[in-house]
Structure formats: C-alpha cells, structure tokens
Amino acid sequence: MRSQLSESTIKHSPIFLTSISIPLRGSSRSSSAVHHSINMFSLAHQPRDMACPKSAIGEDSHCDVCNKIMCREHYDDPAHTCGYTLVSLSSRCFSPADLVRGFSLVRDGYVFQRSRFQDLLITDKLPATLADLDGEAIARRIADLRPDAPFKVIMPRTFEETLDLSGGFNMHVEVAFEDGVQWLVRISKYGKGDGPVDLWRNNLESEALTYKLLYDHVIPVPVVHDWGMGEFSKTQSSSTYWIFALMDRSSLSTYHL
C-alpha cells in the first residue's frame, strides 16, 4: 500500500520540504469515486473539540485514527487513547533517516485513516446530516427567492439516493420548478461544533463574492441564488448551504484532465 506514493514523495524533495504531507493527501484523492470533489483543505471541516480554542488550527492537529482535531496537549493527553503508534512517536526528535520512516508511517497512517475516514463520512455524517436537514426551511427559502413559481423540493428518500448526489463533504437536494427550471441546494455535511463559525462564514462569503465577480466577467460558473449558514438545519448547526441554478443535468459530470 505504501510503496508508490511514499517513494514518489521522497523523490520530490522540494514538495516534501515545504508542503509537508498535504500534497500526499491530495495526490491519492482522485482514486476515490465517492470523494471526487474533496478539497484538500476540507479536512478541516471535521468535528473539532470546541472546548479547546486551539482546535482552530487545521490539518496537522488532526488525529488520523480517532478523526478528531485537537491541540498538542489534547493529542498527547493520556485520555487520548486511540493507541496508534504515531502517538508515541510524536514526542521524539527525528534524524533525517527517521524522518523518512516517520513520514512513511504517516502515509500508512493516512491510507489506514483514509478508508476509515470515508466510512465515517458515509455511515455517520450523511444520515446525521439528512436527519438534521429542515426540508420546510428549504421550501420557505425557495419560495422567497422565486415567488409565485410552483416547485417541488426533491428530498432524497433513501440512503442510496442521498449518496447519489453526494460528494465527500457536501450533499445535494434538487429543486424542480413547474416551469422546468431546476435548482440545486448544496449542503455541507458537517454539523454542530465544527470549528469557529466566523472562520467558515468568512470562507463562505469569500467564495460567494468570487462566484459573483467571475459571473460578472462572463466566466462559466454556476449562478448562486443564495448562500448561508445554519438556516436549513433543525439544530441551527453551522452547516453551510448554497443554492445554485442547476445547469443541464448532463453537465454534472466532471473530467480528470
């Protein structure tokens, strides 16, 4: 499992030196059908320990095994007993040879964690997001955005249907208007307690404004009708949502150029 990727990493030493393990994670990404749209930074969307403000820091304070984001103190805390070997290695000082070995372990750890992580997203996050989703709130918002246009919110009925329109971190609900217009509601799968709300709000706002700027310059991007945080959640979680105009359904396919 380790061979190909870890070797190519070591050969590309500039990447190794400056970007640490992030490109490794990205590089194995496209192999997964379900996770075709994972953004490498989206790992930071995983549940955080909100009791500890240091959890605002992203990837590297993330325990690959128990899938929690934590600070060094919490990571090394005896109460953190997920038992993976990396925990005991973390306090050691490495020689360059150890370092290579250490990163091989990280790679293996990631491979191990990756499959577990996928399981978690699919088995835990998706049903939880679906149960938290407020269909009536979606319908109210759609009616506000396009008054006097009858429509139907097509909520996924089964787990398989949900999975069908689901990426690594987002799920989608289709909206069909009677006049043929289709919209797509994109809802992030993370729930309550996913890190500082203002951080996600900044990120969300930046993305929305970028879409608008690009659209104004006639770049092909989806039309964003609305975006926000928490409104479609029964528990007012910090889940983000987008409402896009759905282009032709066939255009939803993507290519790995």
Partner 1 sequence: MSREDMKVLVDDFADISVKISKIPCDVIGSLCSDDTGEAVWGPHLNGGYTESLEAPYFGGPFYTLRDRYIHRIDSLIDLTKKGLIHRLAPLFHYLALMEARRLVMADPVMARLESTFYIRHPDCSGSNILADGNKITGLIDWEW
Could you say whether residue 12 binds partner 1 (CB under 8 A)?
no
Q: How many C-beta neighbours within 10 Å does residue 3 have? A: 9
Binding segment toward partner 1, per CB under 8 A, in 32-40, 134-142, 152-160, 227-235: 32-40
Assigned token pair, 233: 């959640």
Is the sign of the CA dihedral 30, 35, 36, 39 positive or negative? negative
| CA–CA separation, 67 and 28 (whole Å) | 18
Cβ 227 vs Cβ 242: under 8 Å: yes
Three-state SS across 162-208?
HHHCECCCEEEEEEEECCCCEEEEEEECCCCCCCCHHHHHHHHHHHH
51, 79, 97, 219: which one binds partner 1 (CB under 8 A): 219
What's the rounded Cα separation, in Å, for the pair 122 and 190?
12
Total number of residues that touch partner 1 (CB under 8 A): 64
**Per CB under 8 A, 54 contacts partner 1:** yes
- 22 contributes a contact to partner 1 by CB under 8 A: yes
| 37 lines the binding site for partner 1 (CB under 8 A) | yes
Contact 91, 75 (CB under 8 A): no
Judged by CB under 8 A, does residue 40 bind partner 1? yes
CB 170 → partner 1: shortest distance, Å? 10
Nearer to partner 1, 90 or 235 (CB): 90
13 binds partner 1 (CB under 8 A): no
Using the rule CB under 8 A, is 102 a contact of partner 1?
yes
**Residues interacting with partner 1, by CB under 8 A?**
17-18, 20, 22, 30, 36-37, 39-41, 44, 53-54, 56-61, 71-73, 75, 86, 89-90, 93-94, 96, 99, 102-103, 106, 196, 198-199, 202-207, 209-214, 217-222, 247-248, 250-257
